């Protein structure tokens, strides 16, 4: 799937690195929020830190909902070009990690050819 000499493959690898960086930054943020939950001075600070941590998780889940749906559907052998999966496919291929998502979609297509 990834030919290092191919410019498109290089761009996809860059998107993978951005994705990993995004997850790493999210984990760092959550780590700080959880520290606030555990070590907050009082009940209000601990509660607010828990509320903020939940917000970070909710945002991350929303950002990757469509990508997760496509990956899970692929693993289950479902047709990602139909019904509700089609809108997820269109959402991810037009999004922040579009070339990476397109590579995932194309990999599904090549596995169906066999």
CA 28 to chain centre: 16
pLDDT at residue 7, rounded to an integer: 79
Domain ranges of the chain: 7-108
- pLDDT bracket for residue 106 (50, 70, 90): confident
pLDDT exceeds 70 at position 54 = yes
- pLDDT bracket for residue 58 (50, 70, 90): very high
pLDDT exceeds 70 at position 46 = yes
Q: What is the pTM of this model?
A: 0.74
Using one digit for the tens of pLDDT, what is the confidence trace for 87-98?
999 999 988 888
pLDDT at residue 26, rounded to an integer: 95
The alpha helices in the chain, defined as continuous H runs, are 7-39, 43-75, 83-93, 98-112
pLDDT, greater one: 86 or 112: 86
């Amino acid at each position: 799937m990834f030919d290092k000499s191919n410019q498109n493959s290089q761009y996809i690898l860059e998107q993978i690195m951005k994705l990993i960086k995004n997850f790493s930054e999210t984990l760092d943020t959550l780590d700080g929020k959880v520290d606030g939950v555990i070590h907050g001075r009082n009940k209000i600070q601990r509660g607010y830190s828990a509320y903020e941590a939940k917000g970070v998780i909710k945002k991350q889940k929303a950002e990757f909902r469509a990508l997760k749906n496509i990956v899970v559907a692929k693993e289950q052998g479902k047709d990602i070009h139909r019904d509700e999966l089609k809108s997820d496919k269109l959402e991810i291929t037009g999004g922040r990690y579009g070339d990476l998502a397109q590579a995932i979609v194309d990999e599904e297509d090549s596995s169906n050819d066999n």
